[in-house]
Amino acid sequence: VPTASGKTLIAELCLVKSILENQKRCLYIAPLKALASEKYKDFKKRLEPLGIQVGLAIGDADTPTKNLGNYHIIIATAEKVDSLLRSKATWLIHSLSVVVLDEIHFIDDGTRGPTLEILTARIKQLNPDIQVLALSATIGNAQQLAGWLKAELVSGSWRPIPLKEGVYYNQRITFDKAGTRLISEEESEDVNMLTIDTLRGKGQVLIFVNSRRSTQAVARNLCHSVTKILAPEERQKLMALSKKIAGTQADVAKMSRQLADCIQHGVAFHHAGLTSSQRELIEENFKINLIKAISSTPTLAAGVNLPARRAIIRDCKRFESGLGSAYIPTSEYKQCAGRAGRPQYDPFGEAVLIAKSLSEQETLFDRFIHSPPEPVTSKLANPSALRMHILASIAGGYVNDINAMFEFIKHTFLYYQRQHIDLLSLISDIFEFLSKEKFIERSGMRYFATAFGAQTSRLYIDPVTAIVIRNGLTLMEKRAEFSVVGMMHLLTCTPDCPTMNVGKKDLEELEKYASGAFDELVLTPQNTPELDDYFTYLATMKTTWLLHHWIEEEKEEAICDKFNVGPGDIFRHAEAVQWLLYASTTMAELFRQKQLTSGLNDLRNRIRYGVKEELLDIVKLRGVGRIRSRFLFDHGFKRIQDLKNTSADFLANVPSIGKALAKDLIKQANEKPTSSQSLSADLGKELADLV
């Protein structure tokens, strides 16, 4: 059924009906955290006045897991529910009447698909009576997917708000079956012409491009055009918003400053390098028509409701490794196009592709507008995904032998699609691998998880990550001293750590850093075959180097410039490594490597806050981050206890502190000392909640 035709709305009605009739619980699964958060806000606003309680479980800053039982509707990501099932929360599935799998085409996604698929099969196995609603606008083989789910296919082409699709070339949009439109704006760029044309008609615009850099360039170019049509009061509000986005701190990354500059002119860019709060602010202010145009990577595309009258798909090609520059999938185009013309915002919508030549115009019509979306295929055969889920199945007590695992896999889309793979031997190989690496052990005819295997599964890490950590900790234990660089590098060598791309221009500096750090490394190309590939090795070194700058208190701005990343990227790397350090600490405890735990804890806190070791005490105060803790330290407040007997007036003079915070800090310092000092225990709990 097309985008914006009310799929999610129908799901919501189905949940409400079921709650009223069955008094049971419902689960709504979204593929991305951002989408889950949007639906949470939406559902909560509408349903709580009716007495329906809505909870969110996406893995951070959310409802503690133990309270989930209190909600009628739980909105979650597949990863979160999967991890709940690993801690044997099967009560959750038994208490459900309906599960909604929104944007089910994500089953085709190499990273998220396997979890979604396994979870769906598991839910149906645990509770065969459950009603399943799987929704998507962009599946070529919907009948096949319905067959797998034993569901009835509902398909249609009706859209409450018409979406006109067309291709722009040479100052004219040619719409499919809907005539043409001459664009006569006096602008130098095509994107600007198409944007201003819509803004003059009081509509808003989304522009999809293929790289982060392009989102920024397009937004910058749009500023001088969009600013002309702003009303004086809008300018004022935008100025305030711009200040809010830039933040008040002294250290503002160039990307945030650029964003703040664009916002003043009613324009924003949106990509994964921004922090999630920046992205939320952009979306909120676009929804109230303060921001007029957003240029974005396609990450903004799935399922969100935004008031875009025109979606401009500027880049319909993207660089794919091994393929060079290739057309994006039709389904991706359709998701981007479908952001335009949403019923609660606009009377009509337009999706416009941009052609570079007359012949390309034809190609774009054929390939995107007149073509159906591609079929989705299971990605579960990926050995890394299968390894993780087989271990989880054994550790969760769901299966105990190869045959039972095979029987379970028969309920997956992978099996249903009959891809040409010998699944039984693939499963046997994985059992053998898990057994050899001591994740599982055999007792009679049955396999059980070892403590190491159970821990790996609970931590939600790839078994290969667990092996790298286990072997690395053993090597680290033999050293006289704990090495911060060695440990960070070890973790960048795990498949669960995102690594950075290395370009030719990085080589010289990286080689220098690598040779300086070499003596500290635990894993080297000599003892780790995977690091034999020079670029892989340098990618791990580059990521280590970024983290190293972060914990040495290098300015965020300088790190972003040096590594050509955004603040959101620093956060993403730091978050991943923080989690892996938590995993390492629990592994060190498991293997009784006591001398490593304090080094691991300290490093985890340094990564969490981006501070040197000397700030680890003072940074524990609430309301104090890497910048304020440095100011406090440099003004003589080196430990929390140094604040106990100071005066608020004196403390308020420390830069970035101020009177109100000064009072609060003194109060905190005089509170029972243990509460702020038990940070590592708190962090452990907090991180455990993430799983």
Ligand X SMILES: Nc1ncnc2c1ncn2[C@@H]1O[C@H](COP(=O)(O)OP(=O)(O)OP(=O)(O)O)[C@@H](O)[C@H]1O
Q: How far is the CB of 102 from Mg ion (least distance, A)?
A: 6
41 belongs to the binding site for ligand X (CB under 6 A): no
Nearer to Mg ion, 166 or 303 (CB): 303
Alpha carbon of 378 to those of 120, 133, 145, 669: distances in Å? Answer: 13, 19, 10, 55
Helix (H) or strand (E) holding 682: helix 679-690
What is the rounded CA–CA span in Å between residue 323 and residue 326?
7
Window of 5-13, 118-126, 170-178, 610-618 that interacts with ligand X by CB under 6 A: 5-13
What is the rounded CA–CA span in Å between residue 521 and residue 208?
42
9 belongs to the binding site for ligand X (CB under 6 A): yes
Window of 37-45, 302-310, 377-385, 613-621 that interacts with Mg ion by CB under 5 A: 302-310
Window of 3-11, 259-267, 513-521, 678-686 that interacts with ligand X by CB under 6 A: 3-11
Q: Which does 292 bind (CB under 5 to 8 A by kind): Mg ion, ligand X, none?
A: none
CB 191 within 8 A of CB 222: yes
344 belongs to the binding site for ligand X (CB under 6 A): yes
Alpha carbon of 468 to those of 440, 483, 569: distances in Å? Answer: 17, 16, 24
Q: Is the Cα dihedral 175, 180, 183, 189 positive or negative?
A: positive
CB 559 within 8 A of CB 570: yes
566 belongs to the binding site for Mg ion (CB under 5 A): no
Amino acid at 55: G
What is the rounded CA–CA span in Å between residue 446 and residue 544?
42
Please identify which residue in 64, 69, 110, 160 interacts with ligand X, judged by CB under 6 A: 160
What is the rounded CA–CA span in Å between residue 181 and residue 173?
5
Nearer to ligand X, 341 or 610 (CB): 341
Q: Which does 147 bind (CB under 5 to 8 A by kind): Mg ion, ligand X, none?
A: none
Q: How far is the CB of 304 from ligand X (least distance, A)?
A: 7
Window of 336-344, 439-447, 517-525, 557-565 that interacts with ligand X by CB under 6 A: 336-344
4 belongs to the binding site for ligand X (CB under 6 A): yes
x/- mask, ligand X, residues 531-560, rule CB under 6 A, reads ------------------------------
Please identify which residue in 174, 299, 305, 646 interacts with ligand X, judged by CB under 6 A: 305
Nearer to Mg ion, 7 or 159 (CB): 7
Please identify which residue in 114, 303, 341, 610 interacts with ligand X, judged by CB under 6 A: 303
Please identify which residue in 72, 105, 164, 342 interacts with ligand X, judged by CB under 6 A: 342
Q: How far is the CB of 338 from Mg ion (least distance, A)?
A: 9
Q: How far is the CB of 4 from Mg ion (least distance, A)?
A: 8
E strand intervals along 395-452 = 440-443, 446-449
Q: Could you tell me which of 526, 462, 457 has the C-alpha nearest to residue 491?
A: 462
338 belongs to the binding site for Mg ion (CB under 5 A): no
What is the rounded CA–CA span in Å between residue 683 and residue 210?
37
Please identify which residue in 8, 120, 195, 215 interacts with Mg ion, judged by CB under 5 A: 8
x/- mask, ligand X, residues 117-156, rule CB under 6 A, reads --------------------x-------------------
* Cβ neighbours of 104 (radius 10 Å): 26
Structure tokens at 370: 């007149």
HSE-CB at 55 with a 13 A cutoff on CA atoms is: 21
Q: How far is the CB of 21 from Mg ion (least distance, A)?
A: 24
**Binding-residue total with Mg ion (CB under 5 A):** 3
Alpha carbon of 245 to those of 151, 248, 262: distances in Å? Answer: 46, 9, 11
Q: How far is the CB of 78 from ligand X (least distance, A)?
A: 17
8 belongs to the binding site for ligand X (CB under 6 A): yes
* Cβ neighbours of 675 (radius 10 Å): 11
What is the rounded CA–CA span in Å between residue 557 and residue 549?
11
What is the rounded CA–CA span in Å between residue 56 and residue 39?
9
116 belongs to the binding site for ligand X (CB under 6 A): no
Q: Which residues, at least 6 apart from 416, have a Cβ–Cβ distance to it below 8 Å?
A: 144, 147, 148, 378
What is the rounded CA–CA span in Å between residue 348 and residue 439?
56
For residue 59, which phi and psi values (nearest 5 degrees)?
Answer: 110, -15
Q: Can you tell me whether residue 179 is helix, strand or coil?
A: coil
Q: Which does 297 bind (CB under 5 to 8 A by kind): Mg ion, ligand X, none?
A: none
User: Which residue, judged by CB position, is nearest to Mg ion in the bound state?
Assistant: 8
Q: Which does 20 bind (CB under 5 to 8 A by kind): Mg ion, ligand X, none?
A: none
**Binding-residue total with ligand X (CB under 6 A):** 15
136 belongs to the binding site for Mg ion (CB under 5 A): no
Please identify which residue in 55, 166, 203, 303 interacts with Mg ion, judged by CB under 5 A: 303
What is the rounded CA–CA span in Å between residue 463 and residue 218?
42
3 belongs to the binding site for ligand X (CB under 6 A): yes
Q: Can you tell me whether residue 296 is helix, strand or coil?
A: strand
Nearer to Mg ion, 137 or 395 (CB): 137
Q: Which residues bind ligand X (CB under 6 A)?
A: 3-9, 137, 160, 303, 305, 338, 342-344
The residues of the shown chain that bind Mg ion, judged by CB under 5 A, are 7-8, 303
